[in-house]
Amino acid sequence: MNVMEPVDIPKATIKEAAERAGVSIASVSRALNNKPGISEKTRKRILDICAELNYIPNTSARELTAGHSNTIAISMGPHDFVASRYLGMLWPALSSAIRKKGQNLLPVEQDTDISQITGAILLGVEDNDARAKYLKETGVPFVSIGCSDGVFWVAPDDFNGARQATEHLLERGRKQIAFVTPTVYGGGYQFRYQGYMSAMASKGLPVREIRTTSEPLGEIAAYRYFLNMDEKQLGSLDGFVCECDETAIGLIAALQDRGYKVPEDFSVVGYDGLPGVAKELTTIVQDPHDIAEKVSELLEAAIAGEMPRGAVIPVTLKVGKTS
C-alpha cells in the first residue's frame, strides 16, 4: 500500500485575509482581537474570510498576544535573510537596553499581527514600507533602524563613514576607487554612496559605481560578478569601498581566485564591522551599544507620544589586512 507523503500547505497570512476582505491589515487585526473601529458587519465578514482561509496567527503572534504589555517586537523586513546577520550583531545590545526598561524583545515575521504590543523596532525599512504604514494605522509606537521620513529613527553616520573609508584608500595611494553595492541608488545605502562620492570629488577623481545585484546573497553575488569581470575593466581599478562586509568578502575571494593579492594589487574596505565576517577586513565599525541605547531612548519617546525625530550614531574605521 502506498503511503502519501505529507504535503506542506502554504499558510494564509494576515495580508491575504485583508486583500480578500478588501480592508486594511489593521482592520483584520481589529476583527481578530475584538477591538473597536469597524462595524459588526465588517467584523463578521473578516472573521468568515479568516475561517475560510484557515488563517492562524503564527507562534510569534500568539506569544505577542499572551504578553503584549511588556513586549517590543523587532521585524527584519522582507530581506530577513540578509538583515539577520546585522541583527545578530545588534541583538545582545538591543535586548539588554530593552530589558533595562522592564520589557522583552521578540523577533517577528513579516506578516505577524503586532497590533497588541507596547512598541516595535524595524530593520531594513524601504520607501512606502508596509510595516511602517501598518504600525501607524494601528497606533503602535516604533523606531526604525535606518533613516526614514516622519518617524523615529536611529542610523549610523553612513555619509562620514563611507567618506572616511574612501579617504583611507586615498591616503594609501589608491586613486581608481569604485563603490560596490548590490542595490540601486537609494536602495538603503545612498548615504554611504554620497560619502564615497564626496571624498572622490574632493580630489577631482572619477566616481565609479559597481552594482553586483544581491541574489542569492551579497557575498555570492559579489564573488560571481568580480570572478567574471573583464580583465581590462578590473585592471582600470585599484581600490574598492563596499557597502557592507559581505560584499567585501565576496569581492576579495574572487580577486584571490583570479590570482591577485589583497592589498598589494587591490585595497578593499567593507562596512558594518560584523563579528567574524570582518575579522581581518578593513571596515567601518558601528557600535551596537550606542545604537541600542539610542533606539531604547527614542522608543520610550515614541511610546510617550512625542514628535518623531532621528539620531545619527558615529562610526569608526578599523584598519585590517585588506588595505
Quick one: pLDDT at residue 79? 58
168 within domain boundaries: yes
For 92, the grid coordinates are 545582545
Quick one: pLDDT at residue 297? 95
Between the CA atoms of 286, 288, 290 and 291, what dihedral angle is there, to the nearest 10 degrees? Answer: 90
Residue 167 and residue 51 share a domain: no
96 within domain boundaries: no
| 261-303 pLDDT, tens digit each | 999 999 999 999 998 888 899 999 999 999 999 999 999 999 9
210 within domain boundaries: yes
Residues in CB range of 202: below 8 A, 6 or more apart: none
Q: What is the CATH number of the domain that holds 253?
A: 3.40.50.2300
Confidence of residue 117 (pLDDT cuts 50, 70, 90): confident
86 within domain boundaries: no
| 216-246 pLDDT, tens digit each | 678 899 999 999 999 999 999 999 999 999 9
Q: What is the CATH number of the domain that holds 24?
A: 1.10.260.40
Residue 51 and residue 163 share a domain: no
Domain count, the chain: 2
74 within domain boundaries: no
Residues spanned by the domain of 279: 158-285
29 within domain boundaries: yes
For 182, the grid coordinates are 548590490
Residue 167 and residue 279 share a domain: yes
Confidence of residue 184 (pLDDT cuts 50, 70, 90): low
CB 262 within 8 A of CB 322: yes
d(CA 156, CA 161): 8
323 within domain boundaries: no
15 within domain boundaries: yes
Q: Which of 65-69, 181-185, 209-213, 314-318 has the lowest mean pLDDT?
A: 65-69
Confidence of residue 157 (pLDDT cuts 50, 70, 90): very high
